[in-house]
A and B are shown apart, each in its own frame.
Chain A
Amino acid sequence: MATRKQRAPVQYVQIDALVVLKLIKHCQEEGAGGTDLVQGVLLGLVVENRLEITNCFPFPRHSEEQEDFNEVQYQMEMMRNLRHVNIDHLHVGWYQSTLFGSFINRPLIDSQFNYQDSIEESVVLIYDPLKTTQGFLSVKAYRLTPAMMKFHSENDFSTENITKHGMTFDKMFEEIPVVTKNSHLGNSLLCNLEEEEQEADKYNFLDLATSSMLQKNLRQLMECVDATTMDINKYINCQRQIMRQQQAKQQHIQKRQQDNALRTQRGEPPLPEEDLNKLFKPIPSPPRLECLLFSGQIDNYCQQISSFATQSLGKLFMAESLQNEGPST
């Protein structure tokens, strides 16, 4: 509790193996093989400059009919129960599974904002079940940057505000390094398992079938690009409207000035000033947050693809050299 007041920014996240296993289990059991999103609550403690996540529990899945289900109450109940058995019960964030890294969207930002608003150090863990099955455990911790927090708290996503905060798509999230910590017992078990593990299982990350993964990523990237294009079109339309209005306004003002000039020549009093804003209602510019999010998502995809591509490129070269050696032996 004391550490929280120090406001020392959390430098890295330390996850217990238990949390990772629970997360994987939850995703496996309820996520329909990774296609459905699962969410849960992270429990832990801030120690010095690290956030220790020591336990977690899933949000129960509830169908549409159970409208009266109260999530908050469930969480409180759960945490109270955990406290009774002397388990860490401090809420330090939440986790979510993702499909091909498509997690940057409005709901995530909103809920993470709420978390960080109430619990400053809270993070969101993004778990990618697909990558995990390929042999790379993929758990990433994110939180909103302070700038984003401030920006979001104003709840004004207009172009002006974005500029004011200097908000860009890559300044929304900050990733925090994740460290997995095992207990000694766990480590020794792993050592045991490693001996028993078969050769083939160890190397499924050397899988050379890359095209399906790339295809899927590209498809999603395309969707995102489409959405961005739509958004830009909206913006252009809005700009055109504004421009047209400006012209009309201009003409109106000029006409008024001419009239007034004529009137003063004739010695009549000038026409009363009108509220131009009433005549020409300012056209609301479309919110830009969506565009930001899409950009962020595109960026995320690009990173994913390039990392994936470099890896598989490496694998291919490796395999090629092996192949070259192969026939000769």
Chain B
Amino acid sequence: MSRFFKAGSDSESETESSEDDELIQQRPSAAPVPSRTFQFSDDEEDSKRIVRSAKDKRFDEMTNIIKQMKNHKNIKDMANVLSDFEALVKAFEKAKKVVQEEGVPRFFIKCLYDLEEYANECWEDKEWRKSISKNNSKSFTSLRQKLKKFIRERFEKEVAEYRENPDQGDDDKKEETPAPEESEEEEVKKPEPVVTKPKLPAPPVRKDEDDDDEDDDDSDWGMSDDSVESESDDEPMEVGKLTAEFFLKKSDSGTARKEKKKKEPKKVKLLESDEEGDWEEVRGGAPLIMERPKMFAKDQDITVDAVMKKLFEITAARGKKGTDRNEQIELLKELREIAVTNNLGLGVDVKLYFNIIGAIFDYNPNTLTSMRNDVWESCLEYIKTLLNMLIDHPEVTVGEDIKEDDEKLQEAPFMIRACFLTLVEKMDEEFTKMLQGCDAHSTEYVERLKDESQVCDIIEKTLRYLEIKGKPMEIARIYLKRIEHLYYKHDNSINQNPRPKHGKIKSKSYIVEGSSEQIVDKLCKYLYTAETSDRLRTRAILCHIYHHALHNRWFQARDLMLMSHLQDNIGHSDIPTQLLYNRTLVQLGLCAFRQGNIRDAHHALVDIQSSNRAKELLAQGLLPNRQNERTPEQEKIEKRRLFPYHMHINLELLECVYLVSAMLLEIPFMAAHEMDVRRRMISKNFHHVMKMSERQTLIGPPESMREHVVAASKAMKTGDWKACKNFIVNDKMNAKVWDLFYQPDKVRDMITVKIQEESLRTYLFTYSNVYDTLSLQTLADMFELTMPVVHRIISKMIINEELMASLAEPTQTVIMHRTEPSRLQSLALQLSDKFLTLVENNERILEVKQGIYPFQNKRDRNDRNPATSAAFQHHTQGLFFFLDILNLFFCIYVELTEKRQFEKKLSYPCMN
């Protein structure tokens, strides 16, 4: 009801407003039919009892029910629609007698028809059907069945008739008022948005474009016509009961009706002007599902304008709720075929391609899930064809900045408003999403990954296309895309020198000759110099570093990293760039390790590894969500950021490299600083791992990578380099870690040498105090190092004052100086330090006490005096036992020196 009235009042022009009001007043009065009193208007004071004919009564009842049903239909309340339908059928049965006399009322047939349409439509809307409640869906099915049966049994013919010819009245009117088309079109077009808006709740069933709105309106009008008609038809029956008012009303409704009727024909016209001549299109009131077998009428000549108009029509529905995206794609494809068959020229074709691809990308409304494989493949195909087309026809200009009005689709220098680069970027995004979507260990993933070459191919071609046609910004963007597809791939060709390149991406013949290094170098350098945004440049630098690091070009990578000063401000960049930075850093660390720069490797990896969240920091997987750290939304966002599996850096490798480098640094350090009061740690993570293994009650032979490293560290502590090496480099570890490196043998050799050296250092730190002299030769034999290396290491230790010794060249020995204190001595030193602080603190108590006096008045002093003096007393007592302790120290020192001399005396005879 309200829907009708609102629509009515809105669409009616100003002049009719008064009549309109009356109309509104008349309507509500019709509503409470069951009360039997029929009020014509509210302002009529003496409400008379009006006797109405049986027919009138029955039909009123029915129209009422129909109206209610309409409302319920709008809100899709199936249970109520069903009950309304049942009530309607009952009312119809009651009115049987009347019907026999009068014939089946048209509004009833219309209602049945509408209801049927409505039911069909709802049936088709599967999503909606899933979403509704159980009760609702149950009543919906029963409604549908009952309706079908009812129509089939009784009114098959009538409904079919109605379908053929929705409202007979309309036809007549068409001829009567053939108003000028143009003006009317404007008239209608304008109010339309207003018409649709206030209809809340809008029928969610509405499937299609503006045409549908019109159809809808049409149905509204039709319906209102019916009701008005029925009333006006009825009225003459009540002869004798007519009042003046009634006549007035009638005339009013008549004019209103006229107004309405005026509109209908032009709507019909409109539809016809759209070349959708057959009645199929206009069919009935309920919103239509787009089922258009044909785009254009057969006889219509297809021009560019017509196609464009159609295109606009189709694309106008884009993004609207309830638009069938699949169908849109189909429509566009069809349109393109039509365009091609009619030879409308390249411009139209390109334009349509753009639209098709756009529609394909639109296909999946969910940003999380990827598109289906077949859609993806077709999308790739389209992009490729479009790209080839663009490359083959340099006269086609594509640009975002071309205004829609300036588009030239017909003659030679084609101007098209679109951006191919955006399509490529979107495609790349989609590709990543697809890879994220499938299980990384399945064959599906491999299948998808095969498309990588195609994607690269497209990017490569686009790059070359844009180099000629594109603007600098676009070139920069496509360069970056290219780099991003290149930087993480290891180019084997560089190490297998002149052999024909057959790296992963190299197989493509059109790649500029030279290694990927050259390409990346070239592209990055362009990006560095070109006027591009910081983000592009940052990413380019990171990719460049990554690529260098991947190919063991440590110094270039390091220098680039240091020169860029990225460490300082990476925190300000966006998260994907930060993730890239993390990846780069890790790769840099791995590179440093391969090159034997253990300290650098450790520095690079420590931040990533120490947080225990390497997985998250590298965006290679999500950590289990503990204590609801993130909301589901955050999790979704994070999931979207993940790198596809083929770009992952092996985490076990990462951890192993980190632990091994930490071991090589930490074990000698620990040995050297065993006596320190406050032990510093180089790597907390390493200490943690060691502690965990110590806590175990039973330590079996190492199984995991971590256990191997721990076992190796323990062996190294005692200077047993062979055991250490065997723990680090063995079959198990080879399979787990080292073979993953590019040149595993080199890495293994490097590790072995490092282990030997560091074990030697550890040995010297730990056991130097039991030696007086040490032969270099012995050491060299022990650690299987050459003499110069041993000499070098020891000299370095001596220079760094790590080892108190001197080298005796003629005898090739190390002579220990024994200046470092024994354990007991260092402990005693520590203790004396502690006592010193204790004494100082004690004295401070005294100071406070003295300081307090001048500021205190008498009473307070009396309060405080005993307390402070007590504290003083108490602590001076403490001072006495300090004297004791100092005495004791003396004892200890005497004893120790005594003992040492004594030991010396003891040991000499033994040595001899």
**CB within 8 Å of B: which residues of A?**
158-160, 162-163, 168-169, 210-211, 214-215, 218-219, 221-222, 225-226, 228-229, 232-233, 235-236, 239-240, 242-243, 246-247, 249-250, 253, 285, 288, 291, 295, 298-299, 302, 305-306, 309-310, 312-313, 316-317, 319-320, 323, 327
The answer to whether B830 touches A222, judged by C-beta atoms less than 8 angstroms apart, is yes
Report 22 cross-chain contacts, Cβ distance below 8 Å, ordered by A residue: A159-B867, A218-B827, A225-B838, A229-B837, A232-B842, A232-B845, A236-B845, A239-B868, A242-B864, A246-B852, A246-B860, A250-B856, A291-B874, A295-B878, A298-B881, A302-B881, A305-B888, A305-B892, A306-B891, A313-B898, A320-B905, A327-B909
| New contact pairs (13) apart from A239-B871, A246-B856, CB-CB < 8 Å | A159-B871, A163-B869, A163-B873, A168-B877, A211-B822, A215-B824, A229-B837, A242-B864, A250-B860, A291-B874, A298-B885, A305-B892, A309-B888
* Alpha-carbon distance between A159 and B849 when the two chains are bound, in angstroms: 14
Please tell me which one of the listed residues B822, B875, B877, B887 contacts residue A232 in the complex, with CB atoms under 8 A apart.
B875
B residues whose Cβ falls under 8 Å from a Cβ of A: 822-824, 827-828, 830-831, 834-835, 837-838, 841-842, 844-845, 848-849, 851-852, 855-857, 860, 864, 866-871, 873-875, 877-878, 881, 884-885, 887-888, 891-892, 894-895, 898-899, 902, 905-906, 909
State the CA gap A327–B908 with chains docked (Å): 12
Bound: A252/B480 CA distance, A: 72
A229 touches B852 (CB 8 A): no
Known contacts A163-B873, A285-B867: A243-B848 contact under CB 8 Å? yes
Name the contact of A215 in the complex, choosing from B827, B891, B898 (C-beta under 8 A): B827
From B856, B874, B877, name the one whose CB has the most chain A CB atoms within 10 angstroms. B874
Residues of chain B lying within 8 A (CB to CB) of residue A168? 874, 877
Instruction: Determine the residue in chain A with the shortest Cβ distance to B869.
Output: A163
A309 touches B891 (CB 8 A): yes
Contact present for B902 and A323 (CB under 8 Å): yes
CB < 8 Å neighbour of A211 from B824, B845, B877, B906 = B824
Q: A306-B891, A309-B891 are in contact. Are A169 and B877 (CB under 8 A)?
A: yes
A323 to B831, CA, bound (A): 33
Roughly how many angstroms separate A211 CA and B837 CA in the complex, as a whole number? 25
A-B contact count (CB 8 A): 126
Contact A229 B877 (CB under 8 A): no
The answer for the CA separation of A233 and B822 in the assembled complex, in Å, is 31
In the complex, how many angstroms separate the beta carbon of A157 from the nearest chain B beta carbon? 12
B679 to chain A, nearest CB (A): 14
For B841, what are the chain A residues with a Cβ–Cβ distance below 8 Å?
229, 232-233, 236
* Residues of chain B contacted by A291 (CB below 8 angstroms): 874
For A247, the chain B residues whose CB sits under 8 A away are 855
Cα distance A243–B851 when bound, in Å?
9
Residue of B nearest to A169 (CB): B877
Q: How far is the CB of B572 from chain A (nearest CB, A)?
A: 42
The answer to whether B848 and A239 have CB atoms under 8 Å apart is yes
B866 contact set on A, CB distance < 8 A: 160, 163
Nearest 5 CB-CB pairings of A with B: A163-B870, A232-B841, A225-B834, A218-B827, A309-B891
User: Are B827 and A222 in contact, with the CB atoms below 8 A?
Assistant: yes
Decide: A313 and B867 in contact? CB cutoff 8 A.
no
State which of B830, B835, B845, B898 has its C-beta within 8 Å of the C-beta of A239.
B845
Bound together, the chains give a CA A169 to CA B888 distance in angstroms of 19
Known: A214-B892, A219-B827, A316-B895. A235 touches B871 (CB 8 A): yes
What residues of chain B lie closer than 8 Å to A162, measured between beta carbons?
Answer: 870, 874
The answer to whether B828 touches A218 (Cβ under 8 A) is yes
Please report the C-alpha to C-alpha distance between residue A226 and residue B860 in the assembled complex, in whole angstroms.
Answer: 33
Does B881 lie within 8 Å of A316, measured CB to CB? no
Taking CB atoms, residues of chain A closer than 8 Å to B867 are 158-160, 163, 285
Which B residues are in CB contact (< 8 Å) with A215?
Answer: 823-824, 827
The CA-CA distance from A313 to B902 in the complex, in Å, is 11
Cβ B891 vs Cβ A323 within 8 A: no
On chain A, the residues within 8 Å of B835 by CB distance are: 225
Q: A299 to B882: give the CA distance in the assembly, Å.
A: 10
In the docked arrangement, what's the CA distance between A163 and B831, Å? 29
A240-B848, A246-B855, A285-B867 known; A302 vs B838 contact (CB < 8 Å) = no
Alpha-carbon gap, A145 to B875, bound state (A): 21
Choose one: A159, A299, A316; the contact of B874 (CB below 8 Å): A159
Residues of chain A lying within 8 A (CB to CB) of residue B851: 243
Query: Chain A residues near B837 (CB, 8 Å)?
Result: 229
Expressed in whole angstroms, the Cα–Cα distance for A210 and B909 within the complex equals 22
- Given A168-B877, A232-B842, A298-B881, A313 contacting B871 (CB threshold 8 A): no
Chain A's closest residue to B844 (CB) is: A236
Partner of B834, one of A226, A285, A316: A226
Task: Say yes or no: A299 contacts B888, CB within 8 Å.
Answer: no
Q: Which residues of A contact B831 (CB under 8 A)?
A: 218, 221-222, 225
Q: Chain B residue with minimal CB distance to A313?
A: B895
CB closest chain-B residue, reference A161: B870
Chain B residue numbers with a CB within 8 Å of A226 are 834
A160 touches B874 (CB 8 A): no
Q: Are B870 and A160 in contact (CB under 8 A)?
A: yes
A314 to B786, CA, bound (A): 49
A221 CA / B899 CA spacing, docked (Å): 22
Residue in B824, B845, B848, B856 whose CB lies within 8 Å of A218? B824
- Specify which chain B residues have a CB less than 8 angstroms from the CB of A306 in the assembled complex: 887-888, 891
Question: In whole angstroms, how far apart are the Cα atoms of A305 and B887 in the complex?
Answer: 11
- Asked if A295 and B881 make an inter-chain contact with CB atoms under 8 angstroms apart, the answer reads yes
Question: What's the nearest-Cβ distance from chain A to residue B835, in Å?
Answer: 6
Chain B residues whose C-beta falls within 8 Å of the C-beta of A169 in the assembled complex: 877
B906 touches A323 (CB 8 A): yes
Q: CA of A215 to CA of B828 in the docked complex: distance in angstroms?
A: 9
Nearest residue (CB) in B for A233 is B841
Residue of B nearest to A216 (CB): B827
Across the two chains, which residue of chain B brings its CB closest to A305? Answer: B888
When the two chains form their complex, are residues A313 and B909 in contact, meaning their CB atoms are under 8 A apart?
Answer: no
Closest chain B residue to A222 by CB distance? B831
Chain B residue with Cβ nearest A324? B905
Q: Are A228 and B891 in contact (CB under 8 A)?
A: no
B868 → A minimal CB distance (Å): 8
List chain B residues, Cβ under 8 A from A312: 895
Enumerate chain A residues within 8 angstroms of B905, measured Cβ to Cβ.
Answer: 320, 323
How far apart are the CA atoms of A210 and B898 in the complex, in Å? 13
The interface residues of chain A lying within 8 Å CB-to-CB of B885 are 298, 302
- Output the least CB separation between A178 and chain B (Å): 25
The answer for the CA separation of A232 and B882 in the assembled complex, in Å, is 15
Which of chain B's residues has its CB closest to A282's CB?
Answer: B863
Contact indicator A299/B856 (Cβ below 8 Å): no
Rounded to whole Å, the gap between the CB of B871 and the closest CB of chain A is 5
Hey, which chain B residues are within 8 Å of A323, CB to CB? Answer: 902, 905-906
In contact, B834 and A229 (Cβ under 8 angstroms): yes
Measured CB to CB, the closest approach of chain B to A47, in angstroms, equals 37
B899 adjacent to A316 (CB under 8 Å): yes
Which residues of the other chain, A, contact B869 by a CB distance below 8 angstroms?
163
Q: Are the C-beta atoms of B902 and A319 separated by less than 8 Å?
A: yes
**Chain B residues positioned under 8 Å from A233 (CB to CB):** 841
Q: Which of B834, B852, B860, B888 contacts A302 (CB 8 A)?
A: B888
Q: Do residues B881 and A299 form an inter-chain contact, with CB atoms below 8 A?
A: yes
Residues on B with C-beta less than 8 A from A228 are 838, 878
Min CB distance A306 to B, Å, is: 5
- Count chain B CB atoms within 10 A of each CB in A210, A218, A295 and give the residue with the most: A218
On whether the beta carbons of A232 and B838 are closer than 8 Å, the reply is yes
Q: Bound state CA distance, A327 and B910, in angstroms?
A: 11
A158-B838 Cα distance, complex, nearest whole Å: 21
In the complex, the chain B residue whose C-beta lies closest to that of A247 is: B855
Closest A residue to B874 by CB, please name it: A162
| Chain A residue contacts of B856, Cβ below 8 A | 246, 250
Cα distance, A214 to B823, chains bound together (Å): 10
Question: In the assembly, what is the distance between CA of A285 and CA of B864, in Å?
Answer: 11
Residue among B823, B852, B874, B906 making CB contact with A288, cutoff 8 Å: B874
Q: Which residues of A contact B823 (CB under 8 A)?
A: 211, 215
Q: A168-B874, A295-B881, A313-B895 are in contact. Are A236 and B906 (CB under 8 A)?
A: no
Distance (Å) between the CB of A297 and the closest chain B CB? 11
Given A160-B866, A316-B899, A327-B909, A222 and B834 contact (CB-CB distance below 8 Å): yes
